[in-house]
């Protein structure tokens, strides 16, 4: 099973009455959004997933300390 970026959503189309499940896999997320998620400092588990995905894509991360 592929790695998820966030939970799947289940939406119901009012016209047809059909349910549509939308999955958010990490391999579908753009590189800029992954980097933005790492920099914002949210959940550490998902940040590690983002770092692993960027490593899989061959993106090098340069860590810079925050200057106050």
Asked if the structure places residue 22 within a domain, the reply is yes
In the chain, the number of structural domains is 1
Compute how many other C-beta atoms are within 10 angstroms of the C-beta atom of residue 34.
21
Domain containing 30 equals 4-57
pTM of the model: 0.80
Asked if the structure places residue 8 within a domain, the reply is yes
Asked if the structure places residue 64 within a domain, the reply is no
- Tens of pLDDT along 11-28? 999 999 999 999 999 999
Asked if the structure places residue 62 within a domain, the reply is no
Asked if the structure places residue 52 within a domain, the reply is yes
* Between 28 and 41, residue with greater pLDDT: 28
The answer to whether 34 touches 50, Cβ cutoff 8 Å, is yes
How far apart, in whole angstroms, are the C-alpha atoms of residue 18 and residue 50? Answer: 33
How far apart, in whole angstroms, are the C-alpha atoms of residue 31 and residue 12? Answer: 30
Asked if the structure places residue 16 within a domain, the reply is yes
Asked if the structure places residue 48 within a domain, the reply is yes
Asked if the structure places residue 66 within a domain, the reply is no
């Amino acid at each position: 099973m592929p790695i998820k970026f966030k939970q799947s959503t289940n939406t119901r189309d009012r016209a047809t009455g059909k349910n549509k499940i939308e999955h958010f896999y990490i391999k579908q997320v753009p590189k800029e959004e992954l980097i933005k998620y790492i920099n914002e400092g949210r959940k550490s588990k998902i940040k590690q997933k983002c770092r692993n995905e960027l490593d899989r894509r061959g993106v090098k991360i340069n860590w810079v300390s925050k200057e106050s």
